[in-house]
Chain A
Amino acid sequence: MSAAEPRTADGTGPGGDGEARVSQDAARVAGVVKVSFPVAGMTCAACVSRVQRSLAETPGVLDAAVNLATNLATVELERGAVRPGDLVAAIRDAGYDVGTESAQVAVEGLRFAGDVAPLEAAIAAVPGVLAASANRATDTLRVTYVPGLVMMPRLERAVAEAGFTVAAPIAEADPVERERLAREREVRRLAARGAVAAVVAILAMVGSMPLMGVGGTGTADLLVRLVMPLHHALAHAMPWLYEVPAPQLKIGLFVLTLPVVLWAGAQFYVAAWRGFRHRSADMNTLIGVGTGAAMLYSTAATFAPGAFEGAGLPADVYYEAVSTIVALILIGRLLEARAKGRTSAAIGRLLGLRARTARVYRDGVEVEVPAAEVQVGDFISVRPGEKVPVDGVVRSGHSAVDEAMLTGEATPVAKKEGDEVTGATLNTTGAFVFEATRVGRDTVLAQIVRLVEDAQGSRAPVQRLADRIAGVFVPVVVSVAILAFVLWFDFGPQPAAVFATVSFVTVLIIACPCALGLATPTAIMVGTGRGAERGVLIKGGEALEAASRLDVILLDKTGTVTEGKPRVTDLLAPRGPSASAAATPEERAEILAVAAAVERQSEHPLAAAIVREAAALGLEPRDADDFEALEGRGATALLGAHRVAVGSAAFLIQLGVDIGPFTDAVDALAARARTPVLVAVDGAPLGLLGLADPIKAGSVGAVRTLRRMGLEVVLVTGDVRKVAIAVAGETGIDGVESGMLPAGKVQVIRRLQEAGKRVAMVGDGINDAPALAAADVGIAIGTGTDVAVEAADITLLAGDLRAAVTAVELARATMRTIRQNLFWALAYNVVGIPIAAGALYPFAGVLLSPVFASAAMAFSSVAVVTNSLRLRRFAPTFAT
Chain B
Amino acid sequence: MHIAQFVVTVAGFAAIGWVLWYFLVPAGRGAPPRPPRDGA
Write the residues of chain A forming the contact surface with B, with a CB cutoff of 8 angstroms.
Answer: 2-4, 8-10, 85, 88-89, 92-93, 97, 277-281, 311-312, 472, 474-476, 478-479, 482-483, 485-486, 489-490, 500
Contact = CB atoms under 8 A, between A and B. Distances in A.
A474 B23 contact: yes
A281 B23 CA distance: 7
B34 A93 contact: yes
B24 to A, nearest CB: 5
Given A3-B38, A89-B40, A93-B34, A279 B12 contact: no
Given A475-B24, A490-B5, A485 B12 contact: yes
Nearest to A3: B39
A490 B9 contact: yes
Contact of A486 (B1, B9, B20, B38): B9
Given A279-B31, A490-B9, A475 B37 contact: no
Contacts of B38: 3, 92
B19 A279 contact: no
Chain A interface, DSSP helix/strand/loop, else mixed: helix
B29 to A, nearest CB: 12
A675 to B, nearest CB: 68
Interface string B24-40: 10010001001101111
Given A4-B39, A278-B34, A475-B20, 16 more contacts: A2-B39, A8-B39, A92-B39, A92-B40, A93-B37, A279-B27, A279-B31, A311-B4, A474-B23, A479-B16, A479-B19, A482-B15, A482-B19, A483-B12, A486-B9, A489-B4
B12 to A, nearest CB: 4
Contacts of A8: 39-40
Interface of B: 1, 4-5, 8-9, 12-13, 15-16, 19-20, 22-24, 27, 31, 34-35, 37-40
Closest 5 CB pairs of A and B: A3-B39, A486-B12, A475-B23, A479-B16, A89-B40
A738 to B, nearest CB: 57
22 contacts: A3-B38, A3-B39, A8-B39, A89-B37, A89-B40, A92-B38, A97-B39, A277-B35, A279-B22, A279-B23, A279-B34, A280-B23, A475-B19, A475-B22, A475-B24, A478-B19, A479-B16, A485-B12, A486-B9, A489-B8, A489-B9, A489-B12
B8 to A, nearest CB: 5
B18 to A, nearest CB: 10
B19 A489 contact: no
Between B12, B37, B39, the greatest number of chain A beta carbons within 10 A of the residue's beta carbon is seen for: B39
Contacts of A93: 34, 37
Nearest to A8: B40
A472 B24 contact: yes
B34 to A, nearest CB: 7
A486 B16 CA distance: 11
A10 B19 contact: no
Nearest to B10: A486
Contacts of B22: 279, 475
B30 to A, nearest CB: 13
Contact of A482 (B12, B23, B34): B12
Contacts of B37: 89, 92-93
B38 to A, nearest CB: 6
Nearest to A471: B24
Contacts of B16: 479, 482-483
Contacts of A311: 4
Nearest to B7: A489
B33 to A, nearest CB: 10
Contacts of B5: 489-490
B20 A10 contact: no
A562 to B, nearest CB: 58
Contacts of A490: 5, 8-9
Contacts of A279: 22-23, 27, 31, 34
A486 B15 CA distance: 11
Contacts of B20: 475-476, 479
Contacts of A482: 12, 15-16, 19
Contacts of B12: 482-483, 485-486, 489
Contacts of B8: 485-486, 489-490, 500
B28 to A, nearest CB: 11
A10 B37 CA distance: 11
A88 B9 contact: no
B31 to A, nearest CB: 7
A9 B39 CA distance: 10
A4 B22 CA distance: 28
B7 to A, nearest CB: 10
A2 B38 CA distance: 11
B40 A278 contact: no
A281 B8 CA distance: 24
Contacts of B39: 2-4, 8, 92, 97
B20 to A, nearest CB: 6
A8 B31 CA distance: 29
A778 B20 CA distance: 44
Contacts of B27: 279
Contacts of B13: 486
A62 B40 CA distance: 22
Contacts of B35: 277-278
A278 B35 CA distance: 7
Contacts of A500: 8
Between A85, A277, A476, A486, the greatest number of chain B beta carbons within 10 A of the residue's beta carbon is seen for: A486
B32 to A, nearest CB: 8
A9 B40 contact: yes
Contacts of A479: 16, 19-20
A745 B22 CA distance: 54
Nearest to A472: B24
Contacts of A280: 23
A744 B32 CA distance: 59
B36 to A, nearest CB: 9
Nearest to B5: A490
A490 B13 CA distance: 13
Nearest to B32: A279
Contacts of A278: 34-35
